[in-house]
Amino acid sequence: MPSIHWFRNDLRLDDNPALQEALEDGEVLPVFVLDPRLWGEDRWGHVKTGPFRTQFRWESLQDLRSELEARGGALLIREGLPEEVLPALMKEHGCGRVTAQAEHTPEELEVERLVIRAVEAVGGACAWVEGLTLYHPEDLPMPLGSLPDIFTQFRKKMEKGSEVREPLPAPLKVPSPKGVASDNLPSLQGFLERHGMLMPVADSRAVLPFQGGASAARARLKHYFWDSKRLAVYKKTRNGLVGADYSSKFSPWLANGCISARRIASEVRRFEREVESNDSTYWLVFELIWRDYFRFVAMKYGAKMFHRKALKPDSPNRGTQRHPFEAWKEGRTQDAFVNANMRELSQTGFMSNRGRQNVASYLVHDLGIDWRLGASWFEHMLLDHDPASNTGNWIYVAGVGNDPRPNRSFNTKRQAEMYDANGTYQTLWSTHAMELDIR
Ligand SMILES: Cc1cc2nc3c(=O)[nH]c(=O)nc-3n(C[C@H](O)[C@H](O)[C@H](O)COP(=O)(O)OP(=O)(O)OC[C@H]3O[C@@H](n4cnc5c(N)ncnc54)[C@H](O)[C@@H]3O)c2cc1C
């Protein structure tokens, strides 16, 4: 009996344990569902998936379809609610179960709950398989309820008491049931217009012309690790603001699942064996452990992590005034460094880690705005939005998350002097530069 593999944020064949599980049943019907909830408005009025991430997803799906077809498979792409689309496809193709990569955050878990109910109603079963994190959740050396609330304690326990599992190779064949052919994606422009959005326009100042898909992810890794060997200096350059190679730029591919964290870590190990092992090679994996940490925090705290006061119920309320918030979004605050970063975000869908920390701190601590508005704008704009990493970082900076130091904020003027001493970044993203660009 064939299985459905429901692709979600795992748009790859390499190191995809949920897909491997489906293949154990023989034939697999690979399906991606364009769920209208992902393009709906959130409570602050932002469409959840903005134009940059939608385009990246389209490119990722096109690449996935080619990779599946090269292995004898096909990719069905359907618009609708997964809890309606999946049971209907099960009946049509006589499938016994649905596999998918497990998610861990409230909105995604709610969809899983609805899908389980609908699939069971037609006599099928669901298997959610872990594949998103570097460390397998079963390999945590402590019960989830005892996950340390301080990152350093967590990292030390993981490094001492756990091991990252080996990534799985991509399957050689993904046989789909006879007569099944791939679907085309709807036109991107038409889809965006239906959701009240315009096509993104490429900006020559972008750190990278990000291209979705597992092939592009592999090419980026090849460039950053093997061709330029920038991995060997990552720790020295990672706080940069301008250019393609100050950091890995893996995040959009990781967030869409075009590459797995385990595959990246295994390539780091190979680099350490074949080229060089130093504090930079260590630090890239260290950052992937941060990514894991926020996932496990989301698993531990559930919906609480997404509440206004998140993990710190005694913290003060902050406002939701639209005027200063809109100025922040549009890069029209009193702070030139914040403005430059916000313009980069709205023109390209990306912002450096240094920039994100500064603009988040400025919104919450200088403008006194509720972190959830900023996180909502990031969700709309970012190519690499990930609910656990985004929320985990926002609540950390806002002082309602896992930062043990109370009331910490960034001095954005001082940060600009340290990280943009010559003003190169601020000039690149000044309104003047934007006007020249528009003309
Ligand atoms: C307010 C705020 C919001 C953020 N929102 C997101 C988000 O939605 N999605 C997202 O992937 N990252 C988010 N980050 C984390 C971080 O800024 C980005 O992961 C990083 O800038 C991506 O660039 P890179 O791939 O070149 O990172 P690199 O420096 O090359 O790091 C390698 C990888 O490690 C992981 N990583 C690095 N730093 C962090 C971190 N602080 N938290 C979690 N993972 C990390 C990412 O997967 C990244 O791709 C946020 C940070 C802040 C301060």
Residues 162-185: tens digit of each pLDDT: 999 999 999 999 999 999 999 999
Share of the chain above pLDDT 70, in %: 98
- The whole-number pLDDT of residue 433 equals 59
436 has pLDDT over 70: no
- CA dist list (Å): 290 to 147, 234, 235: 13, 16, 15
Mutate to test the pocket of ligand 1, among 151, 250, 251, 396 (most ligand atoms within 8 A of CB): 251
Residue owning the nearest CA to atom 46 of ligand 1: 251
SS3 88: helix
Q: Is the pLDDT at 435 greater than 70, yes or no? A: no
Average pLDDT, the chain: 96
* Residue 438 pLDDT level (bands cut at 50, 70, 90): very low
- Domain 1-131 in CATH 3.40.50.620: yes
Any alpha helices (H) in 165-309, and if so which ranges?
188-194, 214-221, 234-237, 251-255, 261-274, 279-301
> Which part of the chain has CATH 1.25.40.80?
133-166+213-301
> What is the whole-number distance in angstroms between the Cα of residue 38 and the centre of ligand 1?
21
Torsion of CA 102, 104, 108, 113, to 10 degrees: 70
pLDDT at residue 434 in the model: 55
Res 61: pLDDT: 98
Phi-psi region of 26 (alpha: psi -120 to 50; beta: other; left: phi over 0): left
Chain region(s) in the chain for CATH 3.40.50.620: 1-131
CATH 3.30.450.20 at 133-166+213-301, yes or no: no
pLDDT tens for residues 134-164? 999 999 999 999 999 999 999 999 999 999 9
Burial status of residue 203 (CB atoms within 10 A of its CB: 0-12, 13-18, 19 or more): middle
Which residues lie closer than 8 Å to 22 by C-beta, 6 or more apart? 3, 4, 5, 28, 99
Confidence category of residue 188, pLDDT binned at 50, 70, 90: very high
Per-residue pLDDT at 7 exceeds 80: yes
Band of the pLDDT at 320, cuts 50, 70, 90? confident
Ligand 1 site, residue 389, Cβ cutoff 6 A:
yes
Band of pLDDT at residue 437, cut at 50, 70 and 90? very low
**Regarding the domain with residue range 322-438, which homologous superfamily does it belong to in the CATH classification?**
DNA Cyclobutane Dipyrimidine Photolyase, subunit A, domain 3 (1.10.579.10)
Q: Which residues of 49-88 are buried (b: 16+ CB within 10 A; e: fewer)?
A: bbbbbbbbbbbbbbbbbebbeeeebbbbbbeebbbebbbe
**How far is ligand 1, taken at its centre, from the CA of residue 430, in Å?**
24
∠ CA(266), CA(269), CA(272), 5° rounding? 155
Nearest CA to ligand 1 atom 22: 251
Q: Is 239 in the pocket of ligand 1 (CB under 6 A)?
A: no
CATH 1.10.579.10 domain position(s) in the chain? 322-438
Does position 304 have pLDDT exceeding 70, yes or no? yes
How many CB atoms lie under 10 A from the CB of residue 349? 24
Is residue 203 predicted with pLDDT exceeding 90?
A: yes
The predicted pLDDT at position 439 comes to 32
Give the per-residue pLDDT at 353: 98
User: Residue 407's pLDDT is what?
Assistant: 79
Between CA 414 and CA 203 the distance in angstroms is: 28
From the CB of 247, is ligand 1 less than 6 Å away? yes
